[in-house]
């Protein structure tokens, strides 16, 4: 029994050796070669020989799909899978499927030009169809049409609209860039050019006055080197605190402080669960106010240490930028309590509680500026010891003594005012918050001026 033939088979011409596909209906018939034109008879296929009895049969395991092989004589018997141990019956061999030959392989095939038979590129280009662009009247999609399609309608592949193909415009002839002979530009020998006007420059004094007027007064003020007063921590302290943006920050901090104080009064007046939201709001406002207060205080101290009478670089409006400044104040204030506490522990049997508080306050007022200026000198809140700042105590003891005295006077006046306000009504007692903010800003202004005083006096001593 012969196997079914493939729908397409290859036929080799006996004259030129060309390989041509033919269909099964042409087997045994005469066929003309598409290349050389010789007529030949297409030979029929010989019947397929039966497979040998020892030819292996390949099949897959029914469980794990492992590829197995068995002899032809074992068809119908059971085989055990070496991987999963499942039993699978050996199937009968299947006839091979005919190859799916594309339709392009039928009939005349492409060939290669001979060396002398190949046309020139100009001839090939002349034989190609001439397309010209056509734009859809609806969606402006670019299409191409032939000359024979002029007057017909093209269907847009995008929107489906019909567009009439019009005759393409003829290309305009390109003009030469060269000027024809006899049309060149000619110079008039009789023409006399006018006299060249000389520029008029204003006097140097007028130019200087205009330059001075165009300069920003704030920038000009900052560019000038500040002059050191005789006692900077007393003279020239208030100008920065009475200017923007320090005044704006003072009012905002006072408003936040009054709101927090109002919430705390509500918490103290309520003795139930209803006071918890007010307590949370007061705590959040206090944390935000502390961060903002730290930022503006360090900005005032830094600008004052340069001798400026105006805050040129105020803190930004980002809350996360303020949090870094809190560590400078918190760490310095916590470490400043250590000397006074140790001294009170050593003399606790000889001092009363009032004297211990006064001793710790004085020790804190002397140690806090040392630690804070050291942190700012080192650029890190974790480095509160600087040999330059601690060495200035031995070099300028009078400066430090004057700072401690002025700080004690400021703190004493603030505490006296606070005591007077606490004895009044609760509404008036809320003025304690703006008073504390103003005193804090004034203290950091004095501390900044003191740092400027130490720097200038030390540099002057080195120059001498």
CA angle 237, 240, 244 (to 5 degrees): 160
Residues in CB range of 418: below 8 A, 6 or more apart: 432, 435, 436
State how far the Cα of 257 lies from the Cα of 428, in Å rounded to an integer: 14
Give 460's pLDDT tier (boundaries 50, 70, 90): low
* pLDDT tens sequence across 333-386: 888 888 877 777 777 666 677 777 777 777 888 888 888 888 888 888 888 888
Adjacent-strand bridge partners of 155:
162
Q: Which two tokens stand for residue 415?
A: 């505490």
* pLDDT tens sequence across 230-261: 888 888 888 888 888 888 888 888 888 888 87
Q: Residue 278 in contact with residue 209, Cβ under 8 Å?
A: no
* pLDDT tens sequence across 214-224: 555 655 555 56
Three-state SS at 164: strand
State how far the Cα of 346 lies from the Cα of 289, in Å rounded to an integer: 37
State how far the Cα of 431 lies from the Cα of 422, in Å rounded to an integer: 9
Q: Which two tokens stand for residue 59?
A: 């099949």
State how far the Cα of 371 lies from the Cα of 331, in Å rounded to an integer: 9
Distances from the Cα of 401 to the Cαs of 394, 396, 405, in angstroms? Answer: 11, 9, 6
Give 71's pLDDT tier (boundaries 50, 70, 90): confident
Query: What is the average per-residue pLDDT within 139-154?
Result: 89
Q: Residue 375 in contact with residue 390, Cβ under 8 Å?
A: no
Query: What is the average per-residue pLDDT within 414-425?
Result: 76
Q: How far is CA 354 from the centre of its chain?
A: 58
Residue 22 has pLDDT above 80, yes or no: no
Residues in CB range of 450: below 8 A, 6 or more apart: 232, 233, 369, 399, 403
Q: How far is CA 288 from the centre of its chain?
A: 28
Adjacent-strand bridge partners of 88:
79
Asked if the peptide bond before residue 196 counts as cis, ω within 30 degrees of 0, the response is: no
Q: What percent of the chain has pLDDT over 90?
A: 2
Report the pLDDT value the prediction gives residue 51, as an integer from 0 to 100: 45
Alpha-helical (H) ranges within 270-396 are 275-305, 319-346, 353-378, 387-395
Task: Output the DSSP codes for 225-257.
Answer: PPPP-SSTTTTT-HHHHTSTTHHHHHHHHHHHH
Alpha-helical (H) ranges within 24-160 are 121-127
State how far the Cα of 74 lies from the Cα of 351, in Å rounded to an integer: 113
Three-state SS at 19: strand
DSSP class of residue 317 equals S
Report the pLDDT value the prediction gives residue 53, as an integer from 0 to 100: 53
State how far the Cα of 301 lies from the Cα of 323, in Å rounded to an integer: 17
Neighbours of 62 (CB within 10 A): 13
Residue 392 has pLDDT above 70, yes or no: yes
Give 136's pLDDT tier (boundaries 50, 70, 90): very high
Mean residue pLDDT of the chain comes to 79
End-to-end CA distance of the chain: 124
Give 49's pLDDT tier (boundaries 50, 70, 90): very low
Q: Which two tokens stand for residue 14?
A: 């006996």
Residue 205 has pLDDT above 70, yes or no: no
Distances from the Cα of 292 to the Cαs of 33, 320, 372, in angstroms? Answer: 97, 10, 18
* pLDDT tens sequence across 271-319: 777 778 888 888 888 888 888 888 888 888 888 888 888 888 888 877 7
DSSP class of residue 194 equals P
Task: Give backbone dihedrals phi and psi of 162, rounded to 5 degrees, phi first.
Answer: -90, 130
Three-state SS at 80: strand
Q: How far is CA 24 from the centre of its chain?
A: 69
State how far the Cα of 296 lies from the Cα of 314, in Å rounded to an integer: 7
Report the pLDDT value the prediction gives residue 4, as an integer from 0 to 100: 39
Three-state SS at 69: strand
Report the pLDDT value the prediction gives residue 141, as an integer from 0 to 100: 92
State how far the Cα of 10 lies from the Cα of 24, in Å rounded to an integer: 10
Query: What is the average per-residue pLDDT within 109-119?
Result: 72
Q: Residue 236 in contact with residue 229, Cβ under 8 Å?
A: yes
Report the pLDDT value the prediction gives residue 215, as an integer from 0 to 100: 57
């Amino acid at each position: 029994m012969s196997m079914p033939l493939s729908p397409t088979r290859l036929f080799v011409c006996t004259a030129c050796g060309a390989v041509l596909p033919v269909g099964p209906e042409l087997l045994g018939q005469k066929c003309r070669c598409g290349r050389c034109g010789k007529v030949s008879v297409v030979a029929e296929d010989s019947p397929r020989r039966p497979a040998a009895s020892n030819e292996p049969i390949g099949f897959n395991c029914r469980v794990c799909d492992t590829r197995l092989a068995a002899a032809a004589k074992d068809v119908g018997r059971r085989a055990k899978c070496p991987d999963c141990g499942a039993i699978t019956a050996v199937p009968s061999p299947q006839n091979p499927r005919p190859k799916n030959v594309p339709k392009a392989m039928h009939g005349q095939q492409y060939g290669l030009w001979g060396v002398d038979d190949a046309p020139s590129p100009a001839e090939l280009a002349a034989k190609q169809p001439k397309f010209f662009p056509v734009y859809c009247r609806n969606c402006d999609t670019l299409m191409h049409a032939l000359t024979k399609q002029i007057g017909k309608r093209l269907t847009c592949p995008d929107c489906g609209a019909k567009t009439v193909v019009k005759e393409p415009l003829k290309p305009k002839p390109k003009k030469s860039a060269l000027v024809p002979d006899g049309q060149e530009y000619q110079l008039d020998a009789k023409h006399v050019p006018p006299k060249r006007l000389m520029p008029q420059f204003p006097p140097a004094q007028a130019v200087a006055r205009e330059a001075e007027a165009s300069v920003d007064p704030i920038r000009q003020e900052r560019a000038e080197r500040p002059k050191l007063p005789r006692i900077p921590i007393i003279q020239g302290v208030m100008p920065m605190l009475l200017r923007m943006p320090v005044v704006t920050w003072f009012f905002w901090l006072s408003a936040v402080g009054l709101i927090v104080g109002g919430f705390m009064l509500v918490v103290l007046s309520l003795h139930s669960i209803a006071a918890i939201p007010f307590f949370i709001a007061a705590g959040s406002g206090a944390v935000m106010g502390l961060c903002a207060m730290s930022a503006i205080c360090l900005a005032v101290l830094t600008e004052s240490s340069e001798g400026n009478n105006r805050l040129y670089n105020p803190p930004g409006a980002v809350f996360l930028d303020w949090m870094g400044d809190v560590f400078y104040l918190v760490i310095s204030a916590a470490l400043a309590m250590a000397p006074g506490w140790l001294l009170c522990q050593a003399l606790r049997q000889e001092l009363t509680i009032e004297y211990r508080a006064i001793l710790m306050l004085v020790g804190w007022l002397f140690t806090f500026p040392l630690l804070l200026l050291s942190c700012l000198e080192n650029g890190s809140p974790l480095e509160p010891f600087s040999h330059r700042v601690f060495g200035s105590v031995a070099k300028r003891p009078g400066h430090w003594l004057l700072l401690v005295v002025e700080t004690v006077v400021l703190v004493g006046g603030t505490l006296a005012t606070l005591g007077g306000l606490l004895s009044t009504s609760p509404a008036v007692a809320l003025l304690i918050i703006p008073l504390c903010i103003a005193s804090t800003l004034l203290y950091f202004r004095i501390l900044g001026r003191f740092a400027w005083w130490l720097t200038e006096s030390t540099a002057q001593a080195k120059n001498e």
